[in-house]
Structures are given as structure tokens and as C-alpha cells.
Amino acid sequence: MKVSQVSPDESGIVRWPGTLGARSSVVTIGVFDGMHRGHQALLRRVVELAAKNQDRPMALLFDPSPKLVHSYADSHDMTEPPLDLIRHDPDQIMPLEERLRLMSQLRLDQVVVVRYTLAFAAKSYRFFLKQLTEQLAMRTLVLGRDAQMGAGRVGDIKAIGDLADTGLFNLEVVDDQGPGDCTLPDADGLERRRVRAWSSSHLRQLILDGDVDAALDILGRPHMVQGTVVHGEQRGRRLGFPTANLAPDSQGMMPADGVYAGWLVDLGLPTDPMATPEGREGRLAQGSPWRMPAAISIGTKETFLAPGQQMPRILEANAVRPDWVDLYGHRVRVEFLSRLRGQKRYAGEEPLKRQLALDADRTLELTKAAGRVFSVN
């Protein structure tokens, strides 16, 4: 799969690389945060339609997300979000790199990462779609029913359908996937809004609530957080439950405080010659020695907090295995299979150790029962 990055100029015009229009294409457009089962179905349809006419299956991926750009602009005098916020979008379920990895498993031929800016957003949907037909040789456009694009978001399915009917391109609308709609609390926690059950918005809420079991059902694989292992207080090894502590700049949405069963995958040192995409796939595979069942804790290690003491939230994972593994400095991926319990302040090390032993046993049971590796294939 080829990946191209394009940035619009100050007037919002994108200079599309000439190679993108060399062959007619089937295109879809979105953010694809989470790459959940709705996204997967839509992308599979793109690949299927392209195969019929030997077209190129292509996705346009907006980054940063339109939601981040518009919500920042609304509260900051219509300015663009700063680079630091774009890099650490607090609403992001998964990093761009992981979305691309999953897209390539679905056999897309080309992804164009489009830098989403206010000037780009101000272009009309007619202008934008005409560009896609001219510059990407778009023969067919595949969208979900809720599509809204272009200035004022007036390019909905009806308007895009009317444009398609002029003979410019074919429009394929994919039915809503999943069990229907659900309601989410709004930012103030009071008003409720209806969203598709299989949507990035619902997923975010579930992860923030710690309901990783429901998230897994929508994703078709476990939610994950990836990061670098740093030193903790070296207490874990003494307790008999060594933990890999993730640095605070980990990628992937952090679930609510609590204890979870899942896996820790050792992706190695960044300098490791195997730190290639192929090497990484080998490490992630089922049965690989780098994939270990893990009891995962997210919290402030309350048992060891002095009264009034504040500690940052830490994600740490205890690889459930008889020997200790040196993971310092390694990149690791933590995958969440199931929530076990909430965090608790224990009356000392002994009761905590008894609970950690139970968490480890339960983790082994659950990961063994899950048994298979999850992927979009």
C-alpha cells in the first residue's frame, strides 16, 4: 500500500501528486479513528468495487481530525490548532500509523493523508469532488449515510448524489453497520446525543468509561495503547509482580483507571535491526514469544500514596510469566481484552500482593479463552 501526504496551500487548494490520477480509482473519505467494524466494512466495499473494474482502491484520510480543527477554531478566534495539540490530540483513539497499518491489511492500494485546515474546509463540496474526479481519476465514491462535506457541511448524501447524477462519478452509499444507534452524554454530562453504536464517538466514550470489553466488540480486536517503558519505583519486582511502566507520552486513548486483562507485546528497542514493519508484524503475531498475557493497571498506585500526595496516572503492565524480562527503553503495545476491577487502596503490601496474584490468574484464564489473535482480516 502506498501512502502519500498532501497539504493544502493558504487558499485551501491541494496540489495532488500526478501519479495519483494514473489509473481510475474507487475512493472513500474519512478520519477512520479506531478502524472499527463500520470502517472495515466500508473499506472492504471500496476494495471489492475496485476489483470489479481493475480500479485502484483508495482512501483519503483527514489528519488532524476535522473535529479537532473546528472545535479549536470555534474557541480560539478561528485560528488553526498548534502543532503540539495536533500531535497529542486528546480525543484520538489510535495513532495515524496504526490506522495505516490496519488499512494495508485490508488491501487498499493507496492512502492519501490530507492535512485538514480551515482554508481546505472552506472549499465547496462541489469543488472538492470535482478535484477528485480530475486529479485522482475517481470513478466511484463510497460513503456512509451520514457524510457531510465541504463549506458549511452542505455536501450531504442527497447533494453528493445529485452531483453524481450529472455523470461526474458513481456514488455508492454503504448501509449503517452495527446494532443501530445509542445515546451519549454531551460534554456537560447532561444533554444526550444519538450516534451510531459502531462509531468513533461511541468508542471514545466506552474507552474513557473503561468498558474495553464493549470496545473490543465494536473494533473486532482489542483497543491498544503503545509507548516506551520507563523506570517505576522498582517496587513491583520486590512484590513479586514486576511491571513495565509506560512513559506519559504514550499513544492511543487511555482507558479509565482500573485493572484489565490483556497482552503486552514487546516491540523491541527503537535501535533494534528488527524494528521494521515486517519485524513488528512478527512480534505481534499469535504465539510469538514477544506477545505475553499481561495484567494491566491504570491509576496512581493509591496503596503507596501518602495522605494528600498527588501522583500522575500511570499505565503499567505485569507480564504474567515465571521469569523477569528486561523491557526498559523498549517500545511496547498494551492490548486490552477485559476489565477486571477498579483501583483500590489496600491496607499494605500483603493484601495488595494477594489481589495481584488473583488478577494474574484471571488474566491467564481470559487470555487463554480468547485464544486467537485479532486482526481486521
Ligand X SMILES: Cc1cc2nc3c(=O)[nH]c(=O)nc-3n(C[C@H](O)[C@H](O)[C@H](O)COP(=O)(O)O)c2cc1C
Note the residues at the interface with ligand X (CB under 6 A): 232-236, 239, 241, 243, 245, 259, 295, 297, 301-304, 316, 318, 343-346, 352, 356, 359
Looking at the Cβ atoms of 32 and 260, the one nearer to ligand ATP is: 32
C-beta atoms surrounding 286 within 10 Å: 10
> Hey, what's the cell of 22?
494514473
| CA-based radius of gyration for the chain | 23
Q: Minimal distance in Å, beta carbon 170 to ligand ATP?
A: 15
Q: Minimal distance in Å, beta carbon 216 to ligand X?
A: 18
Query: Which burial class, exposed, middle or buried, applies to 84 when counting CB atoms under 10 A from its CB (0-12, 13-18, 19+)?
Result: exposed
Q: Which stretch binds ligand ATP (CB under 6 A): 128-136, 172-180, 330-338, 359-367?
A: 172-180
Looking at the Cβ atoms of 167 and 322, the one nearer to ligand X is: 322
Which of 48, 97, 134, 146 touches ligand ATP (CB under 6 A)? 146
Q: Which stretch binds ligand ATP (CB under 6 A): 47-55, 77-85, 92-100, 174-182?
A: 174-182
Q: By CB under 6 A, is residue 243 in contact with ligand ATP?
A: no
Q: Minimal distance in Å, beta carbon 249 to ligand X?
A: 18
3-state class percentages of the chain: helix first, strand second, coil last, to nearest 5? 35, 25, 40
> Hey, what's the cell of 342?
477498579
Residue 94 C-alpha from the chain's centroid: 2
Q: CA 43 to CA 36: how far, in whole Å?
A: 11
Give a three-class secondary structure readout of 92-133: CCCCHHHHHHHHHHCCCCEEEEEECCHHHHCCCHHHHHHHHH
Q: Minimal distance in Å, beta carbon 292 to ligand ATP?
A: 31
Q: Minimal distance in Å, beta carbon 300 to ligand X?
A: 8
Q: Which residues contact 251 (CB under 8 A, 6 or more apart)?
A: 94, 95, 98, 225, 226, 227
Looking at the Cβ atoms of 9 and 361, the one nearer to ligand X is: 361
Q: By CB under 6 A, is residue 220 in contact with ligand ATP?
A: no
Q: Minimal distance in Å, beta carbon 179 to ligand ATP?
A: 10
Q: By CB under 6 A, is residue 174 in contact with ligand ATP?
A: yes
**Residue 316 near which of ligand X, ligand ATP, none (CB within 5-8 Å, type-dependent):** ligand X
Count of alpha carbons within 13 Å of 69, Cβ hemisphere only?
Answer: 15
Which of 148, 201, 300, 375 touches ligand ATP (CB under 6 A)? 201
**Residue 253 near which of ligand ATP, ligand X, none (CB within 5-8 Å, type-dependent):** none
Q: Minimal distance in Å, beta carbon 371 to ligand X?
A: 21
Looking at the Cβ atoms of 30 and 258, the one nearer to ligand ATP is: 30
**Residue 32 near which of ligand ATP, ligand X, none (CB within 5-8 Å, type-dependent):** ligand ATP
**Residue 301 near which of ligand ATP, ligand X, none (CB within 5-8 Å, type-dependent):** ligand X
Q: Which residues contact 128 (CB under 8 A, 6 or more apart)?
A: 149, 150, 155
Q: By CB under 6 A, is residue 96 in contact with ligand ATP?
A: no
Any idea what DSSP says for residue 38?
Answer: H
Q: Minimal distance in Å, beta carbon 360 to ligand X?
A: 7
Any idea what DSSP says for residue 44?
Answer: H
> Hey, what's the cell of 206?
466506552
Count of alpha carbons within 13 Å of 102, Cβ hemisphere only?
Answer: 24
**Residue 38 near which of ligand X, ligand ATP, none (CB within 5-8 Å, type-dependent):** ligand ATP
Looking at the Cβ atoms of 75 and 234, the one nearer to ligand X is: 234
Distances, alpha carbon 100 to alpha carbons 87, 103, 255, 297, in Å: 16, 5, 22, 28
Q: Please state the φ and ψ torsions of residue 86, each to the nearest 5 degrees.
A: -60, -40
Residue 35 · residue 223 · CB < 8 Å? no
Specify whether the backbone of 19 is left (phi greater than 0), alpha (psi in -120 to 50) or beta: alpha
Report the interface residues with ligand ATP, using CB under 6 A: 30-32, 38-39, 42, 143-144, 146-147, 174, 176-178, 195-196, 198-201
